[in-house]
Structure 1
Amino acid sequence: MKIKNIIKGLEVEKIYGSLEKDIKGISYDSRKVGSNYVFVAIEGFESDGHKYIDQAIEKGATALVVTKDIKVDEENITVIKVKDTRDSLARISSNFYGNPSEKMKLIGVTGTNGKTSITYLVKSILEKANMKIGIIGTMGSVIGDELFNTSNTTPESLLIQEYLYHMIEEETKACVMEVSSHSLDLKRVEYCNFDIGIFTNLSRDHLDYHNTIENYFNAKLKLFYMTNKCNIINIDDIYGRRIVEETKDLDISTITYGIVEKATIYATDIEYHLNGVDFKLNTPKGSIDILFNIPGEFSVYNALAAASCAYYYGIGLNTIKEGLQSVKGIKGRFEIVPTNRDFSVIIDFAHTPDGLEKVLTTIRQFSEGRVVAVFGAGGNRDRTKRPIMGETVGKYADFLIVTSDNPRHEEPGRIVDDVIEGVKKVNKNYIKIVDRKEAIEYAIKNARSKDIILLAGKGHETYTIIGDEVLPFDERQIVLDILKKMEK
């Protein structure tokens, strides 16, 4: 593709050199540049791409997109100066891959909790309606029958457009994407043609980046000004109600869902139990009973969000029911590990005060013995939420084991102490075991009859991050290994 076609729609300040060159690829990482590539120099949090221009040229870049006035010695290099290279990367990536989001149904899901579960529920329902579905999200990207790992909930714009392009190649009809607040703020999803935006909820998270809850909300809000057809909003959430109010003049549809407030799609006759939740799904076109396989009130909300999306697309209630009920579980989301003992182990991704409260109150609905929580807080993240997490878990768990969880570049013991500051306010029944594997082993070896052990924070992750190292750490396997060792 020629440069002149790649930069269509770009807000260009200056151009030096030819726009007739054929381009074979795009990169914002100088190490990944190939022959006849465009190199986009992004000013990041830790490094500035402009420092690596010479390296990019050596690797074969023949065009540069920059925000600074630069000088290059090679005459055959085209330099395109723009105001914002993040926005430019999103634009040229979409152009390069043929604007793939315009050729499919694209559904964005944002909110603090529930994004991953909703993407898989939407996928299940739409597949029952004979649509081929792709996913981009926390647990990776699903293209055809393959799963591709990604380092971020929402990848960089270049990778998003590449994934969407390959989905089109696989004749995918729709993609459901987790849209993080970071991705919205950093323009990773610019020039994505969203049919639908789904809002789950909003609670304290990522304040290490956004600084205030209002900034966090405003980042999420951006998605609902990007959608072209319908916004689907949890009306029971205070921020959901704000989104409905702030977007009421947009020329698109709005579907609300909920349990408490008056909503378009809502649940009644809810019955909670250990192996799931039963409820009646109510829509303007009728009602149907759902036997959902994942426990908890949060699961009802997730199911309602997915059902609302299917409802907008005109999918019938029986197909919605079939799609929801066919999901037996989602990895790392209230995942019950088989122990063949008289106690239970549940793995869940909950890593915010609100998420922890939701999963623990769900467990409380059917617990007969103690609720034992093994949890910690991530390093190099919002430190202020750590004691709040500790206090939240302390309110709902009978016994707490405070441990490590992806300490990154922080000292693990200090993180644990931050969490314990909150625990001590409400609960004296806790122990500090910094090594997470030892903490899990302690919980299992000291389990009593009918106890429920919650391993919170890592969920689907099969690794732990210590410093710059990503080390294997699969909690499911660890639990099974401990149980097997106890049999000897």
Structure 2
Amino acid sequence: MKVNELSACLATSRLYGDGEVEITDLQTDSRRVSPGDLFICLPGHTVDGHKFAPQAVASGASAIVCEHKLELDIPQIVVDDCRFAMSVMSNAFFGSPSSRMRMIGVTGTNGKTTTTYLIERIMQDQNMKTGLIGTIQMRYDGQSYPMSGTTPESLDLQRSLHDMASKGVECCVMEVSSHALQQGRVKGADFRTAIFTNLTQDHLDYHHTMEEYRAVKGLFFSRLGNVISPWKEERKYAVLNADDEASHYFAAQTAAEVITYGIDNNANVRASQISITSKGTFFHVETFKGETDISLRMVGKFNVYNALAAITAALLEDVSLSDIKTSLEAIDGVAGRVESVDEGQEYAVIVDYAHTPDGLENVLRTVCEFATGKVLTVFGCGGDRDRTKRPLMGKIAAKYSDMVFVTSDNPRTEDPGLILKDIEAGLVEDGVTSDRYHMIVDRREAIGKAIEMASSGDVVLIAGKGHETYQLIGGVVHDFDDRIVAKEVIRGRSY
């Protein structure tokens, strides 16, 4: 693709130099530049990509994209916003790969990972080659790739979508984070269906207010398109949670056809007769294409919502309700989501990714429904993140638990002890006495203490990290997996 063709992607771009130069690839990291590449000077949180343009040129870059003309003898595309330009140009460079697949995106505070996994399984069972992009991993064509965040940067996303399409992937299901929406990472992706799970407090360190957080989520639905097509293959759908007030806002933001799901309020896809045990969840579902009973091997009312979202998306892809039922009932669960650690002990140990007030409350409510003994909760809050949720999560943990073990999550660059103090403030404010909680900075020690205290019929909930296999302390990555630690403690415990 030529420089002038990439420049033409943006009406306001200004091209300096030879526009006939051929571009072989796009890069944002000057260390990865090869001869023939286009280097995009991407502004970062701590460093500005413009500073690395000379290094990129020295490595053989054929052209650069920048926000102001640089003193370099090389073709330059000057744009107002390099991040936006990257979204548009990478989509064009890779041939709009998302338009060659059925794109299903899921956004919301909680439930994104589970919902995408459920949809992926349903579509795979239809013999449809399916790709998945999310918090835990990216996977397609029999391969899995670890992820460092929920949604990749636009260049990495378009590169991956191109690879998926070239390998025959027909459907791509992906998590769409608020950060990705704010930063324009998915602007070039052509979604057919956009799903909303729920909106509760999180990321206020980044979005500042719930109103701003909601507005950013709304971008996903407003970008679905502004034309309602009479042709089914061109239609766009907004799948919204009828039991979440934010859905009214999102419905007003989109011209796509709105399809709702829910439990408490009237919806196009609605669950009733919900029964939850320690082994799974039963519910009856009524849809616009029939009704049936479903028995999930996953526990919790929140998983009913996740299943309803997946059911709705699959129905819109013309999967029969009976096939959807078969697929859902065969799924064991999702890594780190109400995941049981079973070593034959007489008490339950559950690991869950719950790291928001709403997420923690949901999983604790579920645990309380099947616990016959005490509930012992181990949790912490991430460093360099929203501090306002810390005391709230402390209150929630104490409300539903008999004993709380406040510990470290991923402290990052913060003092772990101060994070624990922020959480403790919520306990103290609610009058929780010191005999009902322990403050233990070392997460391994906290898990060990909780399991040592457990007896027959009790439930130990280890919340916050779920599938994660590391712990970030002082900027250093340490190997740490709640599930492995719990197994080691259980095996080493004397009965």
Normalising by the smaller structure, the TM-score range is: over 0.9
Opposite residue 91 of structure 1, the aligned amino acid is: V
> What is the letter of the counterpart of residue 346 of structure 1?
I
Greater Cα shift, 5-14 or 331-340: 5-14
Aligned residue for 2:13, secondary structure, equals strand
- Displacement, 1:487? 4.9
Match of 2:409 among 384, 389, 405: 405
User: How many Å separate the matches in 2 of 1:433 and 1:289?
Assistant: 44
SS in 1 for 2:64: strand
CA positional deviation for 1:339: 2.6
Matched, 1:4 2:11: no
Q: Deviations over 1:439-481 (max 9, x none)?
A: 1111111212211000000011000111222111011111111
Q: Is the 8 A contact 1:33 1:56 kept in 2?
A: yes
Cα deviation code 1:178-233 (max 9, x no counterpart): 00000000000011100000000001100000011111001101011122510000
Q: 1:193 aligns with which of 190, 193, 204?
A: 190
1:21 aligned onto 2:28:
no
Helix, strand or coil at the partner of 2:306: helix
- Is the CA contact (8 Å cut-off) linking 2:137 and 2:144 kept in structure 1? yes
Q: Who is 2:229 aligned against?
A: none
Partner of 2:493: helix, strand, or coil?
helix
Alignment pair present for 1:204 and 2:208:
no
Q: Aligned to 1:175, what secondary structure does the other structure show?
A: strand
1:298 to 299, 302, 321: 302
The equivalent of 1:44 in structure 2 is: 44
Report if aligned partners of 1:374, 1:402 keep a CA contact under 8 Å in 2: yes
Q: CA deviation at 1:8?
A: 4.0
Instruction: State which of 251, 258, 264 in structure 2 corresponds to 1:260.
Output: 264
- 1:148 corresponds, among 145, 168, 189, to 145
In the alignment, the residues of structure 2 paired with residue 244 and residue 273 of structure 1 have an alpha-carbon distance, to the nearest angstrom, of: 34
- Alpha-carbon distance between aligned partners in 2 of 1:326 and 1:60, rounded to the nearest angstrom: 52
Q: Does 1:344 align with 2:348?
A: yes
Please, which of 145, 164, 169 is the counterpart of residue 166 of structure 2?
169
2:7–2:15 contact (8 Å) kept in structure 1: no
* TM-fit CA distance, 1:244: 2.0
Question: For residues 75-474 of structure 1, what are the structure 2 equivalents within 5 Å?
Answer: 77-228=74-225, 229-247=236-254, 250=255, 252-426=256-430, 427-428=432-433, 429-474=436-481
| Aligned residues of 2:270 and 2:286 also touching (Cα < 8 A) | yes
Q: Is the CA contact 1:124–1:326 (under 8 Å) kept in the aligned structure 2? A: no
Once the two structures are superposed, what CA deviation does each residue of 1:78-137 show, in whole Å capped at 9, x if it has no partner?
111001111110111111211100100011100000000000000111112221110111
Taking the aligned partners of 2:358 and 2:185, their CA distance within structure 1 comes to: 26
Residue in structure 2 matched with residue 484 of structure 1 by the alignment: 491
Q: Secondary structure at the match of 1:222?
A: helix
CA contact (8 A) 1:5 1:95 kept: no
* Distance (whole Å) between structure 2 residues aligned to residue 97 and residue 337 of structure 1: 43
TM-score (norm 1): 0.97
Q: Match of 2:122, as an amino acid?
A: I
CA distance in 1, matches of 2:59, 2:397: 51
Q: Distance in 2 between matches of 1:342 and 1:424?
A: 32
Aligned residues of 1:374 and 1:455 also touching (Cα < 8 A): yes
Q: Distance in 1 between matches of 2:165 and 2:288?
A: 33
Secondary structure in structure 2 of the residue aligned to 1:406: coil
Distance 1:84 1:324 in 2: 43
1:314 deviates by: 1.4
Offset of residue 11 of structure 1: 3.3
Unaligned runs of at least 5 residues, structure 2: 226-235
**Pairwise CA distance, 1:26:** 0.9
Contact 1:276–1:294 (Cα < 8 Å) also in 2: yes
**Secondary structure, counterpart of 1:365 in structure 2:** helix
1:245 Cα shift? 3.6
Per-residue CA shift, 1:9-47, capped at 9, x if unaligned? Answer: 223432111121121211112222222111111222211
Q: Quick one: distance in 1 between partners of 2:215 and 2:27?
A: 29
Q: Distance in 1 between matches of 2:466 and 2:34?
A: 37
Q: Encode CA deviations 1:270-314: one digit per residue, 9 max, x unaligned.
A: 111111110111112210110111111100000000000011111
Letter of the 1:48 counterpart: D
State the SS of the aligned residue for 2:370. coil
CA distance in 2, matches of 1:42, 1:333: 35
Query: Between Structure 1 and Structure 2, how many residues are aligned?
Result: 482
1:430, CA displacement in angstroms?
0.2
In the aligned structure 2, how far is the partner of 1:259 from the partner of 1:404?
35
Contact 1:233 1:240 (C-alpha < 8 Å) held by counterparts: yes
- Over the matched positions of the two proteins, sequence identity in percent amounts to 43
Counterpart amino acid of residue 144 in structure 2: L
SS at match of 1:65: strand
2:62 match: secondary structure? strand
Could you say what secondary structure the match of 1:183 adopts?
helix
Q: Which amino acid aligns with 1:279?
A: F
Q: 2:380·2:406 contact (CA, 8 Å) conserved in 1?
A: yes
> SS at the partner of 1:479?
helix
C-alpha separation in 2, matches of 1:387 and 1:468: 24
TM-score by length of 2: 0.95
Alpha-carbon distance, 1:360 to partner: 0.3
